[in-house]
Amino acid sequence: MKSKLIVGNWKMNGGLRTNSALLEAIQSGLSGVTCRAAVCVPAPYLAQMQTLLADSPVAWGAQDVSAHEAGAYTGEVSATMLQDFGVRYCIVGHSERRQYHSETDALVAVKAQRALSAGITPIVCVGETQAEREAGQTEAVVKRQLAAVIHANGHCISEIVVAYEPVWAIGTGLTAAPEQAQAVHALLRKQLQAASSQADRIAILYGGSMNAVNAATLLAQPDIDGGLVGGAALQADDFLTILNSASR
């Protein structure tokens, strides 16, 4: 059985001193933690992660990557640039990118492709809005979003990580009931199995307001392989609680 994976998404938070203190507290509490762990941080702090986490079991990652390899794309960060900083993971298609930057399924698929080409594991986010859930469209939405990535990366789809993040549960304090989350995870697992004989290697994370209180119940579901953690990843005690829940 593969170990669970917990990834902290710091979003647009952090500072050199606060980052250092947070990571020191997390690393000092890792005794007994057996799950895989990572933090995805704003691009300016990747060099700091490379220094502070060099000898740590905690991996580091980016929150986005350019769909372009290089060129006149001011403000963009390419996959090869991320590679220079030892990045292990890269979030692509987060709902905030889809919503605020109008990222399409096709663009997310290309970004996943760019990450894979640089040896970086893309964490592909999929999820429905509240309106889509109420309209009974959850299954169609998440399958469409994942299908675009499978179509563009079918030959190496077993190298990705998938994160199911119901948009209505991100940063709202709402969380999908464990049964709701499990149902979508099982659906995604079936879709991946149809696309690859090695689909069981793919971790499917839950990414909708996982916290220290609900993590154990969510992680007990058979198709939830870990979590993409937002606010709780900024508090060492909370993040460690989740890591310990994933290590049982």
Domain boundaries, the chain: 5-246
The whole-angstrom separation of Cα 128 and Cα 232 is 22
Task: Give the pLDDT mean for 192-215.
Answer: 94
> pLDDT tier at 1 (50, 70, 90 boundaries)?
low
**Side chain identity at residue 13, one-letter code:** N
Rounded Cα–Cα distance for residues 100 and 120 (Å): 24
Band (173; pLDDT cuts 50, 70, 90): confident
- Nearest CA to 165 out of 150, 148, 151, 145 is that of 145
Residues paired with 205 in a beta bridge: 163
232 vs 211: CA distance, rounded Å: 6
pLDDT surpassing 90 at residue 246: yes
Enumerate residues 6+ apart whose C-beta is below 8 A from 143.
187, 188, 191
Confidence tier at 174 by pLDDT (50, 70, 90):
confident
The C-alpha atoms of residue 82 and residue 89 are separated, in whole angstroms, by: 9
CATH number, domain 5-246: 3.20.20.70
Residues carrying an active site annotation: 94, 165
CA angle 39–91–196, rounded 5-degree value: 115
Query: Can you tell me the distance from the alpha carbon of 162 to that of 125, in angstroms, rounded to the nearest whole number?
Result: 6
